[in-house]
Chains A and B, each alone.
Chain A
Amino acid sequence: MSSMSNKIALAALAASLLFGLNAAHAQSSTDEEAPDNIAVAYSEEGRYYTEDDIPTYNIGEDGSVDWMTYSGFRRYHAECHVCHGPEGEGSSYAPALKKSAIDMDYYDFVDVVTNGRTRVNAAENSVMPAFGTNPNVMCYLDDIYTYLKARGTDAVPRGRPAKKEPKSDAIREAENLCLGS
Chain B
Amino acid sequence: MKRLLAAKRAFVLSTVLAAGGITSASANEDLQKLMDDPNQWVSQTGDYANQRYSKLDQINKDNVGDLQVAWTFSTGVLRGHEGSPLVIGDVMYVHTPFPNIVYALDLNNDGKVLWKYEPKQAADVVPVMCCDTVYRGVAYGDGKIFLHQADTKLVALDAKTGEEVWSVVNGDPSKGETNTATVMPVKDKVIVGISGGEFGVRGSVTAYNMSDGSLAWRGYSMGPDSDTLIDPEKTTHLGKPVGKDSGTNTWEGDQWKIGGGTTWGWYSYDPELDLIYYGTGNPSTWNPAQRPGDNRWSMTIFARNPDTGMAKWVYQMTPHDEWDYDGINEMILTDQEFNGEQRKLLTHFDRNGLGYTLDRDTGELLVAEKYDPAVNWTTGVDMDPNSDTYGRPAVVAKYSTEQNGEDVNSTGICPAALGSKDQQPAAYSPKTETFYVPTNHVCMDYEPFRVSYTAGQPYVGATLSMYPAPDSHGGMGNFIAWDNINGKIKWSIPEQFSVWSGALATAGDVVFYGTLEGYLKAVDANTGEELYKFKTPSGIIGNVMTYTHGGKQYVAILSGVGGWAGIGLAAGLTNPNEGLGAVGGYAALSDYTALGGTMTVFALPN
* A residues with CB within 8 A of B: 73-79, 81-83, 85-87, 89-94, 96, 116, 118, 120, 123, 125-129, 131, 133-137, 157-160, 179-180
Contact = CB atoms under 8 A, between A and B. Distances in A.
B461 to A, nearest CB: 7
Contact of B127 (A116, A123, A160): A116
Given A82-B131, A92-B80, A92-B567, A135 B463 contact: no
Contact of A160 (B128, B445, B561): B445
Contact of B79 (A74, A86, A93, A116): A93
B567 A83 contact: yes
Interface in B565-600: 566-568, 570-576, 580, 583-584, 589-590, 595
A136 B123 contact: no
Among A76, A125, A126, chain B packs the most CB atoms within 10 A around the CB of A125
A78 B79 contact: no
Contact of A135 (B98, B447, B454, B576): B454
B561 A92 contact: yes
A79 B457 CA distance: 10
A89 B450 CA distance: 25
B580 A157 contact: yes
17 contacts: A77-B463, A77-B464, A77-B465, A86-B465, A86-B466, A91-B568, A91-B570, A94-B567, A116-B127, A128-B127, A134-B454, A135-B454, A158-B574, A158-B584, A159-B575, A160-B409, A179-B452
Contact of B570 (A90, A126, A133): A90
Interface in B285-342: 286
Interface string B462-473: 111110000000
Interface in B110-162: 123-124, 126-128, 130-133
A78 B449 contact: yes
B452 A159 contact: no
Contacts of B573: 86
A92 B462 contact: no
B449 A74 contact: yes
Contacts of B465: 77, 86, 159-160
A167 B454 CA distance: 26
A94 B131 CA distance: 10
A89 to B, nearest CB: 3
**Nearest 7 pairs between A and B by C-beta?**
A92-B566, A89-B571, A159-B576, A129-B127, A127-B126, A77-B463, A91-B567
B451 A136 contact: yes
Contacts of A180: 452
Nearest to A76: B463
Size bracket, chain B contacts: 35 or more
B508 interface: no
Given A93-B132, A129-B124, A159-B575, 9 more contacts: A73-B463, A75-B463, A78-B462, A81-B567, A83-B127, A85-B567, A91-B571, A118-B123, A128-B127
Nearest to B572: A89
B460 interface: yes
Contacts of A158: 574, 583-584
A93 B461 CA distance: 22
B99 interface: yes
Contact of B452 (A78, A126, A136, A157): A136
Contacts of A135: 452, 454
A125 B451 CA distance: 29
B452 to A, nearest CB: 5
Nearest to A158: B574
Given A79-B458, A136-B458, A160-B576, A125 B123 contact: yes
B266 to A, nearest CB: 22
A90 B124 CA distance: 21
A77 B464 CA distance: 6
A6 B447 CA distance: 33
A140 to B, nearest CB: 11
A96 B588 CA distance: 14
B415 interface: no
B583 A159 contact: yes
Nearest to B460: A78
A125 B571 contact: no
A127 B127 contact: yes
A73 B464 CA distance: 10
Contacts of B198: 82
Given A79-B458, A129-B128, A160-B409, A92 B463 contact: no
A91 B570 CA distance: 5
Nearest to A133: B454
A86 B575 CA distance: 12
A78 B595 CA distance: 25
B562 interface: yes
Nearest to B448: A78
Contact of A86 (B99, B451, B568): B568
Nearest to A126: B126
Among B126, B445, B459, chain A packs the most CB atoms within 10 A around the CB of B126
